[in-house]
Amino acid sequence: MKLIQATKSRLVFQLGQREELLLLRVLSLYPCVPPAHRQLSKGGRLPEPEANQRLLDEALAEHRADNKKQLQALLADQRRFTHMETGAQLSLSPAQVDWVLQVLNDVRVGSWVQLGSPEELAVGLNEKTSPHVRAMEMAGYFQAQFLEALGGGT
C-alpha cells in the first residue's frame, strides 16, 4: 500500500489485490477491545466512581456502535475503492483516515488483550494465538502506512 496523491482534503492510496482483501478483513474484525478493559481511574479516588465509570462505559459503547455503522457503510460503499487490473485505489479524507486509524488500533489493541496483554509482542504461534497475532500485525501494518501518509502531509 502506498500513498499516491495527497491534498488537504483527500488522500489516495494504491493497494494490491491482496492488500485490499486484507484491509477489509482486518476492518471487519472491529470491535476487538473488550468493554471491561477500559478504566476511568487507577487510584479510584474519584467522587461517585461507579457512576462515572458507567458514564465512560456508555460513551464508549455508543462510540463503538457509531463506528460499527460507519464501518459497515464503508465496507458496503463500492465507490470507496476504484478497482484496476493490479489492485485498487482507496480515497479517504484526512478525517476518515483518522477514523480508520481508530478502528485499526482497536483491532490491534483488542488482539493484544486477547493474547493476555503480553509485555513482549513476539508471542509464540499456536492454534490459539495465531489468529490474534495475525490480526495485531496486519492492523499494525496498515496503521503504519496511514500514519506515514498523515505525517507526510503535515
CB of residue 119 to other proteins, shortest distance in Å: 6
Strand 2-6 versus strand 81-84 pairing type: unpaired
In the chain, DSSP finds a helix count (H) and a strand count (E) of 4, 4
First to last CA, the chain: 20
Question: Residue 114 interacts with other proteins (CB under 8 A)?
Answer: no
120: its cell numbers: 513482549
β-partners of residue 82 are: 89
Question: Residue 5 interacts with other proteins (CB under 8 A)?
Answer: no
CB of residue 126 to other proteins, shortest distance in Å: 20
Single out the residue of 46, 65, 73, 125 in contact with other proteins (rule: CB under 8 A).
Answer: 46
Closest CB to other proteins among residues 21, 144 = 144
104: its cell numbers: 485499526
Question: Residue 42 interacts with other proteins (CB under 8 A)?
Answer: yes
Identify residues 123-142 at the interface with other proteins (CB under 8 A).
136, 140
